[in-house]
Structure 1
């Protein structure tokens, strides 16, 4: 880049040139550009670039005013350059200010009219050049510059390293400078260094210096979805820059990069017409949602209705979507809700958007047009229908029917022929409703023009069409329906489109008459054929339809060629929900997929694995030892086999879990398999709503003036579930029909959110004082997602309905201790004991607890670890391990001050001591089993030991026998199990080798099947914990 700063502030170099002449030269060129970069370019381009001729270089410099040609129009490249010309070139190259009104030299003709004076004065003022005779002030502007002098000036200006050894014919004073120029490649070693430098030589040097000073970005290209920018430089080179973070689409961003040791900054824009996000969602009627993207999207993913979920609140199930239609410009998708929910009887209006209530559309897995981004986004909108439906078009279908198309979806309930009049006369007509906005009326018409009057037709918001008349012309139709197109969806579905609405089809088949569809559906001018096991061929097919009849009674048989498109798209997860269900509080995961799935694959429980935050299988009543659900997963009713319901039981700990789903197959003719996918599940988010703790600001309840209410979820502070509303907090005194209720305060300003999950209510009601055993009753409070806190009770209690959105908790004093959640203390190993508290803790100390056993003594924990949610405390016993066979272990807090507390300073108290459940699983002790042959027979005994005493729970000769739990191979022989004998922790299995000669006592494989975790045929003797499966060699 060009340096336009004050040159007189730079350092000077003094150069003695030929004849003792002294020149003062400033290293201004090394300031003007990076010396290493400039010279490397100078060497390689100025004297090695054959692509640009000297004349072209001259022309380029002339255009910039750096050089002038001679009066005859020539460049004079062969001429020697003069000192005046050299002064001008340096002035122009370095951007020096031309100086006028000053004459520093006394040369003849050195006057203001001399063209060279402003340039000579500029280089003199900059200290770059001096007169040849300083005392007489003679500049000698017509004098020549030798090659040695030019090389010396440029070498010093470019700060080239002067070599110690030289090999050139330059004068002694210039040898080092000339050698540097030769080594750098911009001078020929055989040049006449004593000779004058030509204008051509100066043009070459000036061209390179100018190029280096004006090096810039000529253009750029953004690729790889904004991750890579390739800059085209003005010297013709390209610089590829890979960014740490991809550019934001259609936004100007400054990018920094280095080129030839020089820093550059350039503003670039990743310009794309492909969508990056959803701009908006809207609904001008209650059956259609318009989703607008900020660019174009991929048609296949955009028109997959499974990629959208519409909910009017977090408390509602999603609306069923019939179709997703992409606009011609590929930027807008119109979602059409299904006519009615699958479980709603015909005639009932259902599955509509809520008018004037906030609603959400969740967009999932929609790809943009160039497949550089997958859009997943949740957008809020408020449906508002203020426009009455209109008759958009009336079309005669011959002389026996006519079709009416409305401007929006209409309700077909109670529609009769009385809604329509032809030529101001009542008609007798049979009506066919084609969802969402078409009515086909069958009635006889005369040829010619008719007037249709429509009345009392309603849309789904209840707005009625304004009685209107539309004219149409009926002409006789004698032609049978003709096929417009036919498209396949995999090998099992064909959609045939006709040139007019079809009333009936008597038969259909593909290729041969035996390949018939299992279902034929007619909707307007489309006929959909669904095939079963006998499907289309993989290549070309011929579709035959017989008895295709239109509304004029014209019938014909048609055939049409169609090329199969095999469905090779894997199913993917669209969305998931995790919640509690029923009075038992089972934890349910609902996973929605992009395609219908095969029933056989979703029923395979091994396709689902649940693990906790530590990556371990949780101990839960709904899971086996492998983390698979015990209950068989099933489809959600009326979900089109796209939503799976998985039950994990009711006792998952308040923790974060990961569900890995794999192996599921779709219903395509050649089934596609789901790639393994992991879904994060949070019990805290799924759990029923609960008031964890309600306490006053005083240790004595009756003295309380503030009530603190802690919930198990973060609370909403706006919307319908706003927790900062006074009417939602009432004190209940007593029970049943004699209970009395008091509102704590009438003022919303008395409700304060003191943490994400805790409310403080200031009592303003002077009509009552708080008492022990009073309850706080909280109603219709929502979490931050807008979902009401649900108590999980859907039943009636006595004669009073139990509202599922009402929560209760007894009010206690501030110093009331935090207690254990019921039946939550368990020892999971000899070194670990877990317990769950009713409210989250903020601090935990091992010294606050002690474990005691009458049989084994006292155990002191070595560490205390809180779970992420603060409710589960794990005590570690690394110093003295817990006995694995205990039956009487108890845990308690020590007397005195307890430092394990919640955020508000409330301490934990376990007194009296709580019983500890022994859930320590017995395992194989890890030592190699012993195999012994019984005499010389084919019978062998296999003996191994377990970590706890175990027992055999086989009853009689039941099929559920412990003998069926083992698979034992001795050498190369399989075996049959004859008996299982258990004494304490010693297990002896007697087997018979099926191939006696191949059996071995030293090479064997002993396996106990994991199914024992469910059958529990072998358990420990103290708690019934199943012996863990293993494989020993």
Structure 2
């Protein structure tokens, strides 16, 4: 046992304050040992020339206020130190708080005036030093400090391993700690451990401890949602570390940083109860979605239904749980609902966590699973004239009627009011007392019917009218008033003045929602409701005060899809909130650029990259469809910048500019482009080529053998055999190009390959994560030959020296000599449409304006695809794909008239599409007659032979000597095809001028 005179508390921590919060840092032996070994009394190994001298140690400690020199300015290193002086050193060294107002010892002159008392009390309170005589409570502040005591301090300060066996002459209480110092080479085993330690020795020991605990992290603070950690260093400085990736909440993580050329590795934990992400999304019925966050969220943003998007659905409400961690989304009443056991995506937008340190935007996949039958959750009497039944989940209105209910096993005469989503209010006379209700026939939205059960309820008289218990407002035009009981009717309602009446009153159990055409005040409002009645016909008029919450959240783009519809490229942009229609459909809010950042000006787009056709907006799914025309390159990447779009908040919030990347290849409708088969070396291989790059991992993996089936079909494509899986193992499938798989047929029992065979592929995704054919998830085609084929009904002359021909697959090697146009060979070619289209170039004016009689041939061709399959010979008529051209006829302004007349002559017969009215056609033309002159086009006509266009315009201002210019918007016309030749080729852009 330790002697009670031991000055060090028997605790592995050298220092432990009264609060138990601060401990000495003791793990840096490399620095501390090298310092401690410099002690002249302790060192068994001499230091070199670079060792820190005792005087330098003293000077460093003096600068920190740990030691004081003598009045004459010397360190007095050869002198001894008293226990009181040492108590002060320890207090200063370890940063203990000086203790006043307490006298723990009875030494002579141990009074509040004694300079050493605050330090002695400090080390005593910390359990570091005790009195020489604990029985008599004598500290002996003028007594000296022995070498054994110093060795013990050093051992504990450096956290040396204390051995079980000892072999030294130190006092019994110190033997183990002294032995640890000896084993570490710090103490001479033959030292006189009871001798007093010199100040030099004490300075060295204090310096060792100071070095061991210096430059330590004493505390840290995490801020900016885990992105920043501020470390408090033991020297009083702070180090702010900004992380590349925010800390994961409530998880211990190592953070590394450098301070004063020292590397630190600290374990930190971002402790928070506020949400950082969506933890899970579930749906146990088809009308409600449960969104669980990993912490608490802000109620206003969490309960904004605009912040949640599921394609094809709208939400009636979003309700936050009492613990602020879970939101229940209620799908709007009607035919739309979730699909049982089908994977669905929920996009969460702009939900703030509880301390507003993070805004959560996250897309989560979930699969609704409704396998539980609805149950009666609550039966409550509404006085003696009605009762309310609440079901465990949303139920179908058509299954809730009077025949669904029996009271005390009796059929009742009742009227039933269904309150979406899960409540029935049954009006019927009831006697006071206990009753039994039996419910049957009620179904949920997956068709599961309630199991008939009996529920007890008690009826009492109700003589009190409904009372207001809560009120809240949404964006100045909607107020919800909550009552203490179910409300039957409200006669009318208005806000502030009778002139601002509610345009609609919706009653949902005990909540009444009022919607106003005129906005409420931004400050406090008073809402009045007249004749609020319950089901016992108690009625009263009430008022409630409410200060509206403004919607200040900007709309955001939550999804951007690119697809083909009727040959046009369509960008489908889904937003987080409902939009003002005029802003959503403004073409100037959408700009298309190519991969180099240049504005795209092909057919269907204006010279500024705006869509020619007005975008369309659908509010129920908050989606804008932007038609970008049919002329984009199928193998190119584009960017669509969306800006200027405004939501429907009373004070509209504007979208921050958003740029979506659109890959034209992924816009193609997912399909199988061709299937062919061969049998080399007795093994049948089936090749399936798709029109998109394939996914090869995950649930859409194209290398999954179970996804490929084959069956025999007749000439009409009707199955004549049962579908069979083509391959047994995934190893039988090889990806031979980014869009083509080769299947070694190993499971074809029952398939007659001599007859027509159809191959289908199911649940395969492209590289963008989109399923092929999202309608039924299956695509397929009949097995054909390996030959490359020209699409013979898609051969067009696009100019006087150019013919375009499409093929069923991408070409890798084109032989110009394969092609012949009425005996003329092409001079060059280019590939387009992902190498599926060849544009053949001929000498200038090779092709006449009238292409009738032109034929393109390929005889015994060697052109082939990347698999070595050769082009089949073909002969195809050349169709007219040459846009008509015009030349200026005249531009005149007859004398003394306010009319300008323009005539242009066409290269071939033109026609006007009857689907476009005169105003639209007139808008294609503009006439500029110079500064100070205004013109308005008011007439466009095409001559009977189709060869002349006449444009008339009213004019004001002098035009003599000025140049009038007529312009035709070819981009808009290409998209609309309002004026074309007889073969449907749109008249291209032109501009002519003439001096008047």
In the alignment, which residue of structure 2 is the partner of 1:790?
A: 773
Distance 1:378 1:400 in 2: 46
1:676 paired with 2:670, answer no
Identify if the C-alpha distance between structure 1 residues 496 and 704 changes in structure 2 by more than 3 Å, giving closer, same or farther: same
Identify if the C-alpha distance between structure 1 residues 761 and 552 changes in structure 2 by more than 3 Å, giving closer, same or farther: same
Which of these residues, 282, 306, 316, is aligned with residue 322 of structure 1? 316
Q: 1:526 Cα deviation (Å)? A: 1.9
Q: 1:729 Cα deviation (Å)? A: 1.5
Which of these residues, 61, 69, 76, is aligned with residue 46 of structure 1? 61
1:694 paired with 2:656, answer no
SS of the aligned residue for 1:965 comes to strand
Q: 1:743 Cα deviation (Å)? A: 5.8
1:25 paired with 2:47, answer yes
In the alignment, which residue of structure 1 is the partner of 2:472?
A: 487
Distance 1:291 1:408 in 2: 16
In the alignment, which residue of structure 2 is the partner of 1:347?
A: none
Where in structure 2 are the equivalents of 1:252-651 lying within 5 Å? 252-310=252-310, 318-341=312-335, 351-354=337-340, 360-369=345-354, 370-386=356-372, 388-460=373-445, 461-477=447-463, 479-532=464-517, 534-581=518-565, 584=566, 586-615=568-597, 622-636=604-618, 639-640=619-620, 642-649=622-629
**Are the counterparts in 1 of residues 306 and 578 from structure 2 also a CA contact under 8 Å?**
no
Where in structure 2 are the equivalents of 1:16-415 lying within 5 Å? 24-26=46-48, 46-50=61-65, 55=85, 56-59=88-91, 73=139, 199=199, 203=202, 206-214=205-213, 215-310=215-310, 318-341=312-335, 351-354=337-340, 360-369=345-354, 370-386=356-372, 388-415=373-400
| CA deviations over 1:219-245 (Å, ceiling 9, x no partner) | 211222222221122333222222233
Identify if the C-alpha distance between structure 1 residues 28 and 268 changes in structure 2 by more than 3 Å, giving closer, same or farther: farther
In the alignment, which residue of structure 2 is the partner of 1:1014?
A: 973
In the alignment, which residue of structure 2 is the partner of 1:709?
A: 688
**Are the counterparts in 2 of residues 721 and 788 from structure 1 also a CA contact under 8 Å?**
no
Distance 1:651 1:670 in 2: 39
Which region of structure 1 is more displaced relative to structure 2, 255-264 or 1018-1027? 1018-1027
SS of the aligned residue for 1:47 comes to helix
| CA deviations over 1:268-318 (Å, ceiling 9, x no partner) | 2222223333333333334333222222233333323344345xxxxxx64
Distance 1:678 1:1029 in 2: 34
Which region of structure 1 is more displaced relative to structure 2, 718-727 or 669-678? 718-727
| CA deviations over 1:40-82 (Å, ceiling 9, x no partner) | 9986x523234888953234669799999999856669x9x99
Distance 1:97 1:286 in 2: 65
Distance 1:58 1:14 in 2: 18
Q: 1:210 Cα deviation (Å)? A: 2.2
Identify if the C-alpha distance between structure 1 residues 768 and 851 changes in structure 2 by more than 3 Å, giving closer, same or farther: closer
In the alignment, which residue of structure 2 is the partner of 1:965?
A: 926
In the alignment, which residue of structure 1 is the partner of 2:3?
A: none
Where in structure 2 are the equivalents of 1:813-824 lying within 5 Å? 813=786, 816-817=787-788, 823=794
SS of the aligned residue for 1:694 comes to strand
Q: 1:472 Cα deviation (Å)? A: 0.9
Q: 1:556 Cα deviation (Å)? A: 2.6
**Are the counterparts in 1 of residues 860 and 872 from structure 2 also a CA contact under 8 Å?**
no
SS of the aligned residue for 1:255 comes to strand
Distance 1:41 1:204 in 2: 7
Q: 1:580 Cα deviation (Å)? A: 4.4
Identify if the C-alpha distance between structure 1 residues 404 and 266 changes in structure 2 by more than 3 Å, giving closer, same or farther: same
SS of the aligned residue for 2:89 comes to helix
1:753 paired with 2:733, answer yes
| CA deviations over 1:462-494 (Å, ceiling 9, x no partner) | 2324320312122142x3322223322122212
Aligned residue pairs total 873
In the alignment, which residue of structure 2 is the partner of 1:1026?
A: 988
Q: TM-score, normalised by structure 1?
A: 0.68
Identify if the C-alpha distance between structure 1 residues 963 and 127 changes in structure 2 by more than 3 Å, giving closer, same or farther: closer
SS of the aligned residue for 2:466 comes to coil
RMSD of aligned C-alpha atoms?
6.3
Where in structure 2 are the equivalents of 1:946-965 lying within 5 Å? 965=926
1:776 paired with 2:770, answer no
In the alignment, which residue of structure 2 is the partner of 1:762?
A: 745
SS of the aligned residue for 1:249 comes to coil
Q: TM-score, normalised by structure 2?
A: 0.70
| CA deviations over 1:376-422 (Å, ceiling 9, x no partner) | 13233351433x43333333223222222233323332433333333
Distance 2:374 2:492 in 1: 37
Q: 1:432 Cα deviation (Å)? A: 0.9
SS of the aligned residue for 1:537 comes to coil
Identify if the C-alpha distance between structure 1 residues 41 and 661 changes in structure 2 by more than 3 Å, giving closer, same or farther: farther
Distance 2:505 2:793 in 1: 58
Which region of structure 1 is more displaced relative to structure 2, 212-221 or 743-752? 743-752
Distance 1:912 1:42 in 2: 103
In the alignment, which residue of structure 1 is the partner of 2:809?
A: 839
**Are the counterparts in 2 of residues 296 and 330 from structure 1 also a CA contact under 8 Å?**
yes
| CA deviations over 1:293-346 (Å, ceiling 9, x no partner) | 222233333323344345xxxxxx6444332222111222222233322xxxxx
**Are the counterparts in 2 of residues 255 and 265 from structure 1 also a CA contact under 8 Å?**
yes
Q: 1:530 Cα deviation (Å)? A: 1.5
SS of the aligned residue for 1:689 comes to coil
Distance 1:243 1:657 in 2: 33
**Are the counterparts in 1 of residues 705 and 726 from structure 2 also a CA contact under 8 Å?**
no
**Are the counterparts in 2 of residues 130 and 139 from structure 1 also a CA contact under 8 Å?**
no
Distance 1:6 1:599 in 2: 73
Q: 1:550 Cα deviation (Å)? A: 2.1
Distance 1:527 1:138 in 2: 91
**Are the counterparts in 2 of residues 432 and 441 from structure 1 also a CA contact under 8 Å?**
yes
Q: 1:564 Cα deviation (Å)? A: 3.0
Distance 1:808 1:646 in 2: 31
SS of the aligned residue for 1:413 comes to helix
**Are the counterparts in 1 of residues 338 and 368 from structure 2 also a CA contact under 8 Å?**
no
**Are the counterparts in 2 of residues 406 and 438 from structure 1 also a CA contact under 8 Å?**
yes
**Are the counterparts in 2 of residues 303 and 323 from structure 1 also a CA contact under 8 Å?**
yes
Distance 1:119 1:138 in 2: 14
Distance 2:800 2:601 in 1: 12
Identify if the C-alpha distance between structure 1 residues 291 and 969 changes in structure 2 by more than 3 Å, giving closer, same or farther: same
Distance 2:520 2:992 in 1: 48
SS of the aligned residue for 1:244 comes to coil
Q: 1:890 Cα deviation (Å)? A: 12
In the alignment, which residue of structure 2 is the partner of 1:154?
A: none
In the alignment, which residue of structure 2 is the partner of 1:171?
A: none
For structure 1, the 5+ residue unaligned runs are: 16-21, 104-110, 132-136, 145-197, 311-316, 342-349, 793-802, 924-933, 942-948, 981-988
